[in-house]
Amino acid sequence: MVWKEKTDRRLYDVRDKIKELLHLKDFRSLKRYLTLVCEKYSPVDMIRVISGMDTVQIVMIFRLFPKDYAADVFTLLEKDEQKLLIQSMAEQNVAALMKELEPDERTDLFEELPAGMIKKLLLYLTPEERKIANELLNYPEDSAGRLMTPEYVDLKANMTADGAIEHIRKTAPDKETIYTSYVIDERRKLLGIVPLKDLLLSRPETEVKEIMNINFISVNTLDDQEDVARTMQKYDLLAVPVVDSEKRLVGIITIDDVVDVIEEENTEDVQRMALLEPIELPYLHTNPFVLVKKRIIWLALLMILESATSFVMQSFQDTIRSAVALSFFVPMMIDTGGNVGTQSSTIIIRSLATRDVKIKDFFNVVLRESLSAALLGFLLSLIAFARVMLTTPNLVLAMSISLSLAIVIFLADVIGATLPIFAKVMKIDPAVMAGPIITTIVDIGGMLVYFIVATKIFNI
């Protein structure tokens, strides 16, 4: 913790020094200082240094950064910040920045920009870079093709290990990663993969085809990015080759790109579990009216649905008049049911996301949750029975509440576990069937069960 505090203080000192030199307009000294800072601190640290500065200051700093360092910092900015920076920079600085970005990073940026701006930025690229950018942009949004980079090391099967290492040495500066090379034939069909370690440990005259691994994992250009992320997680891959419909190698996807996809997926799932439409921009950059728009429809719908609980209570007015104490325990009844349903739905939603549970496991899930629900209902109803007897010593009331609670818990658990699977069958995101939806359904059902059981027991 002390080390982190020292580091934070140093970053604040760097920010203050940069601001001071900017204020003095001493750009020569600022460039020398930034050169030293860039050697000492990573792009991640620099993001913290420039956070809070205004756009004009950041533009000036980017002009003085070393080109490759500027590109690394740029890729770490939020999408709206990248867009604002591009709009504020001089053309020659934008051109230099575009040339330093990796092809997949350029594609990621272009996805967020208007078509007119994309056309302008494409003019800053070489014909070859422009061709690659257009090819990547032609793939469907959220597909593996949009995420991949064509900058990988390819080898021929008849190369020797020594020749392959020399080839890697010559081409490495322009490649995304060199930890793994990809063996292709004359038609660019992927034959196998070769880790750099295996090449280094092989005898110089050994041919690549004797070293390569033919049992490799690959993805298709049209595969969904989330499926690619899961594949890389499952097999612990640093990079995965991307092939077209004819099994020709067209690019690779690296783990740093997949991390962003996983983060976006998890953020969307959390938002959907709260019945909130996904927010594209960071929270502090999102207009309050946009937040209202994202929330109002579901909140209004849930409010209308929740009014059904008051209709249930009105329908059982005679029961409530005859046993007023029943109304005291309504919050406990519906809250416990809602909590149980939320827990079971969360477990199943997560299991569906990680592929631990599939649609074919439906009956197994129902059986397991039924057993869990029965045990939970028994234990919690005993606690409820004791609670009622301690505060309102009425045996009939205690029996009514504990029996109702056991039934509500059972139904809530099973409903919470099965609704996400039904959503999956209907091609709906299972995360939608969590939190508010489950709670609302259980509230209405729980009230019905509670008063029906009470009516029967009290013989009203």
d(CA 57, CA 293): 33
pLDDT at 313 over 80: no
Whether the Cβ atoms of residue 275 and residue 435 lie closer than 8 Å to each other:
yes
What mean pLDDT is predicted for residues 185-193? 94
Backbone angles phi, psi at 199, to 5 degrees: -65, -45
DSSP bridge pairs for 180:
195
Which domains are assigned to the chain? 2-138 (1.25.60.10), 154-263 (3.10.580.10), 283-458 (1.10.357.20)
d(CA 440, CA 409): 14
What mean pLDDT is predicted for residues 190-213? 94
- Written as one string, the DSSP assignment of 338-393 is HHHHHHHHHHHHHHHHTTSS-GGGHHHHHHHHHHHHHHHHHHHHHHHHHHHHHHS-
Q: Is the Cα torsion angle 309, 314, 316, 322 positive or negative in sign?
A: positive
**Residue 1 — very low, low, confident or very high, per pLDDT cuts 50/70/90?**
very low
Task: Looking at mean pLDDT, say which of 6-15, 127-136, 199-208 comes out highest.
Answer: 199-208
pLDDT at 460 over 60: no
pTM of the model: 0.64
CA angle, 219 then 261 then 254, to 5°: 50
Identify which of 431, 411, 406 has the alpha carbon closest to the alpha carbon of residue 347: 431
pLDDT at 446 over 70: yes
Task: State pLDDT tens for residues 28-56.
Answer: 898 899 999 998 889 989 988 888 788 88
What strand order describes the sheet that includes 249-254?
219-220, 239-243, 249-254
Long-range CB contacts for residues 256-259, cutoff 8 Å, separation at least 24: 257/104, 257/147, 257/149, 258/147, 258/228, 258/229, 258/232, 258/233
d(CA 431, CA 349): 6
Task: State pLDDT tens for residues 327-363.
Answer: 888 888 888 988 999 899 989 988 888 788 988 999 9
pLDDT at 3 over 70: no
CA angle, 247 then 131 then 133, to 5°: 85
What mean pLDDT is predicted for residues 232-257? 91
Q: Which residue has the higher pLDDT, 364 or 96?
A: 364
What mean pLDDT is predicted for residues 104-109? 82
When mean pLDDT is compared across 48-52, 187-191, 246-250, 367-371, the lowest value belongs to 48-52
Task: State pLDDT tens for residues 397-409.
Answer: 889 889 999 999 9
pLDDT at 86 over 80: yes
User: For residue 227, how far is the Cα from the chain centroid?
Assistant: 12
**What pLDDT was estimated at residue 95?**
79
Q: Which residue has the higher pLDDT, 204 or 321?
A: 204
pLDDT at 220 over 90: yes
